[in-house]
């Protein structure tokens, strides 16, 4: 594909979102990246939160964390370029220890993943001996290594129920844990790690952690009320990283892939997505016949670190290479593989 053909593709998809001169520039970058991808025998994975020009041009596969984990596990390419954030690239490396995994921006972290450490998980396991640990895929490799199984927002309930345990430790997303507790009928607690005056915790089934996504925690029930007042027939979709109150007030809650399928398979006068802004633009570009309202408070600052320029440089200069100590990788692999098997 040449630059003019790429420009035409982007213009069809994104003509209402970006000026032509920007699309021309990004089309040239995208063509350069595709040639480098061919030369390096690389595969490019693009998360649903990538900015539209990148999302609709260079990835071989797009999707949510679980979908891309599956793709990473089966690739036969020498190099994996993960257009997402660090914990996602780490997951690809966990599944592909012999392949080169590149993260285009060294600074593409995650506030939720940073909210918990392996030491924190070990302390929880000591406090609640015998309770299996479910770690959200939005965690770093050392936390996954301390876990029995990982989950994503799309399979969190299925993962918890698969354990058939009286008590489950679920980290680190507070709101996802609360939403899982609501769906499974479990009583959730958020303990301090150091009991005061020998306090005893009774009647708990799910042990959570106070971690939150800095994007999804911003949406409120009041936001929903105001939108419904102006657009009474709007269908509102919320990500499970939103608060339980927001999820309950929405019409549908699900992972990013589930939201995409919902929009594709339904007809409504208006849709509103309570999730990361770039994903709303990507869905609007893919479904031009659907009326997508905007309530875009903030882009994920970490996802926003991944650009076409950095993706080109990742392939050009072989940066930034993801490395995981083998003992941690092997233990994390077991938790990730169990998640993939559940689907």
Q: Residues 13-66: pLDDT tens digits?
A: 998 878 899 999 999 999 999 999 999 999 999 999 999 999 999 999 999 887
Range of lowest pLDDT (62-66, 178-182, 250-254, 269-273): 62-66
**Confidence band for 202, pLDDT divided at 50, 70 and 90:** very low
Distance, in Å, from the CA atom of 177 to the CA atom of 159, rounded to the nearest integer, reads 12
CA angle 123–125–126, rounded 5-degree value: 65
Alpha helices in the chain (DSSP H): 3-14, 20-40, 52-55, 65-74, 86-95, 118-127, 141-145, 156-163, 174-184, 221-230, 244-249, 256-265, 277-286, 308-317, 326-342
What pLDDT shows up at residue 195? Answer: 56
pLDDT tops 90 at residue 113: yes
Tokens, residue 255? 């992972």
What pLDDT shows up at residue 135? Answer: 98
Overall average pLDDT of the 201-222 stretch: 86
What pLDDT shows up at residue 67? Answer: 86
pLDDT tops 60 at residue 203: no
pLDDT, tens digit, 9 for 90 and up, residues 120-142: 999 999 999 999 999 999 999 99
Please check whether residue 334 is in contact with residue 113, taking contact to mean a CB–CB distance below 8 angstroms.
Answer: no
DSSP string, 93-117: HHH-TTSEEE-S-TT---TTGGG--
What pLDDT shows up at residue 299? Answer: 82
CA angle 249–254–255, rounded 5-degree value: 140
Residue 285 makes CB contacts below 8 A (sequence gap 6+) with 13, 14, 17, 52, 56
**Confidence band for 313, pLDDT divided at 50, 70 and 90:** very high
* Burial of 242 per CB tally in 10 Å (0-12, 13-18, 19+): buried
């Amino acid at each position: 594909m040449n630059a003019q053909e790429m420009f035409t593709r982007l213009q069809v998809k994104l003509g209402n979102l970006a000026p032509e001169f920007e699309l021309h520039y990004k089309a040239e970058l995208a063509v350069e990246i595709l040639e480098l991808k061919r030369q390096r025998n690389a595969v490019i994975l693009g998360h649903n939160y990538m900015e539209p020009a990148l999302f609709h041009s260079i990835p071989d596969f797009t999707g949510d964390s679980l979908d891309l984990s599956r793709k990473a596990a089966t690739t036969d390419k020498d190099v994996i370029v993960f257009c997402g954030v660090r914990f996602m690239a780490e997951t690809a490396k966990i599944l592909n220890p012999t392949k080169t995994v590149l993260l285009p921006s060294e600074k593409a972290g995650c506030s939720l993943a940073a909210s918990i450490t392996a030491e924190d998980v070990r302390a929880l396991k000591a406090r609640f001996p015998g309770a299996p640990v479910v770690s959200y895929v939005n965690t770093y490799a050392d936390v996954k290594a301390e876990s029995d199984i990982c989950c994503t927002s799309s399979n969190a309930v299925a993962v918890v129920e698969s354990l058939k345990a009286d008590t489950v430790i679920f980290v680190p997303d507070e709101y996802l844990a609360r939403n899982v507790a609501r769906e499974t009928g479990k009583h959730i607690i958020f303990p301090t790690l150091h009991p005061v005056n020998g306090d005893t915790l009774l009647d708990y089934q799910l042990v959570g952690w106070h971690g939150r996504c800095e994007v999804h925690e911003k949406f409120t029930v009041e936001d929903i009320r105001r939108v419904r007042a102006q657009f009474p027939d709007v269908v509102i979709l919320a990500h499970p990283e939103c608060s339980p109150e927001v999820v309950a007030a929405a019409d549908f809650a699900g992972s990013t892939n589930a939201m995409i399928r919902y929009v594709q398979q339904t007809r409504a006068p208006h849709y509103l997505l309570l999730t990361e802004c770039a994903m709303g633009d990507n869905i609007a570009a893919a479904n031009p016949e659907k009326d997508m309202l905007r309530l875009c408070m903030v882009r994920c600052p970490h996802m926003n670190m991944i650009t076409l320029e950095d993706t080109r440089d990742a392939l050009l200069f072989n940066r930034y290479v993801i490395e995981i100590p083998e003992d941690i990788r092997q233990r994390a692999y077991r938790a990730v593989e169990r998640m993939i098997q559940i689907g």
